[in-house]
Amino acid sequence: MTTSLVHSCFHRGHEQVVFFNYPDFGLRIIIAIHDTTLGPSLGGCRMREYASEDQALEDVLRLSEGMTYKSALAGLPLGGGKAVILCNPALQEGRQALFHKFGECLNALAGRYISAEDMGTSVRDVMWMREASKFVVGTDPKQGGAGDPSPWTALGVLEAMRAAVAYRSGGDPSLKGKRVSVQGIGHVGMHLVKLLSEQGAKVSVSDSHEDALIRASQEFGATAVPLEAIYDVPCDIFSPCAVGQTVNKDTLKRLSCSIIAGAANNQLPDRSVYEILSAKKVVYCPDFAANSGGVICVSAEMRQGAPDMKWVDKKVRGIFDTTTQVLVEAERRGRFPEEVAVELAKERIAAAKSRRQP
């Protein structure tokens, strides 16, 4: 591990970073627990072939810290954590044994970290983890789980968009007639396109999967555009729902939107784009506020009894108020919304700490 990454662990405030190494299972895991002030850390398990171990560590540190702010801002009694398995996600042979072993690693952490599915892992993998450990959520609804979080993530993004539209217009949240460009129509994006079409929005979509483009246009009347062209389509709202960092200094030269709200994590590469977005008067909905519907959904499995999907629905619709609060506070504090969202999350954590002090 390089000195700068060790520094990064301490500097970002991580409580614990654990490495598990089982060559017989082809299993190399890093689990990062960022903050457990509000409750056990929760975050998905990402399976990915990284260019280097350092890159994997950097990823898990960044993602686990983001989970702390996401859950705190959503008002969940949870901390932030994340796991990465350094492995080809297409692996089939020995997969079940690998996830059993992963479950044993969770047991070693005794509930300080709760896992779930993420990029490269699925409900099936989670069910294999579950065979070895109870510290798992995002399980199969047929076996008492809350089910696929993606539709809830999409609903939360829709609520964030409505809040941003209301904030800009001075009250009316209607998306009717609004031109929305959705980049990436996978699990979340396709649900979002459906919801937007129901709201009367005019939707443009891009994705490399031809089948998805056909479905979005035939079922929901969306206009499909080539991957790169999505940045040039005149629109009111740009919604990144594919990968991170697509809102950058190059794409911002082309985007005509006045609002950005999407599901992708880490949409902005760094703080340098704050100035560009502010100068263009773009209302930016922080990604970890807009996309918290998924963690709200899976966290329902940690409450007493069967997952209460009415509670999930109400909580996810609360993303409207959370986004409004962030945008209003950002204006009041003269800060960028993403900074203020982190500040609000940290204030909640600090308040919980001070309540605990004798």
Beta strands 16-22 and 27-35 are: antiparallel
Of 121, 63, 57, give the one whose Cα is nearest residue 89. 121
Estimate to the nearest angstrom the gap between the alpha carbon of 286 and the chain centroid.
10
Judged by CB, which is closer to ligand NAD: 117, or 236?
A: 117
Q: Using CA atoms, how far apart are residues 4 and 54, in angstroms rounded to an integer?
A: 10
Contact 77, 25 (CB under 8 A): no
Residue type (1 letter), 350 = A
200: left (phi over 0), alpha (psi -120 to 50) or beta: left
* CA–CA separation, 157 and 198 (whole Å): 14
Rg of the chain over all Cα atoms, to the nearest angstrom: 20
The amino acid sitting at 151 is: P
> What is the DSSP code (8-state) at residue 347?
H
Nearer to ligand NAD, 20 or 288 (CB): 288
Phi, then psi, of 224 in degrees rounded to 5: -85, 135
Q: Which two tokens stand for residue 151?
A: 């539709």
Nearer to ligand NAD, 98 or 224 (CB): 224
In the complex, the smallest distance separating the C-beta of residue 357 from ligand NAD, rounded to whole angstroms, is 33
Is the Cβ of residue 27 or residue 316 nearer to ligand NAD in the bound state? 316
Q: Is 82 a catalytic residue?
A: yes
Smallest distance, ligand NAD to C-beta of residue 188, A:
4
Q: Which is nearer to ligand NAD, 20 or 138 (CB)?
A: 138
Eight-class DSSP state of 177: T
Alpha-carbon gap, residue 64 to 34, rounded angstroms: 6
Nearer residue to ligand NAD within complex by CB, 85 or 101: 85
Axis crossing angle, helix 53-73 with helix 3-12, rounded to the nearest 10:
10
Shortest distance in whole angstroms from residue 108 CB to ligand NAD: 26
CB of 55 to ligand NAD, least distance (A): 17
- Residue 246 Cβ, how far from ligand NAD at the closest point, in Å? 7
Catalytic: which of 82, 178, 194, 315?
82
Closest C-alpha among 342, 347, 314 to residue 326: 342
Cβ proximity to ligand NAD, 60 vs 263, nearer residue: 263
Interface residue list for ligand NAD (CB under 6 A): 119, 149-150, 153, 183-189, 206-209, 212, 227, 241-243, 263-265, 291, 294
Strand pairing report for 27-35 and 79-86: antiparallel
Task: Report the residue closest to ligand NAD, judged by CB.
Answer: 186
CB of 179 to ligand NAD, least distance (A): 18
Cα–Cα nearest to 58, from 32, 80, 35, 28:
32
Record the tokens describing residue 300, joined without a space. 């329902």
Q: Which residues are catalytic, by number?
A: 82
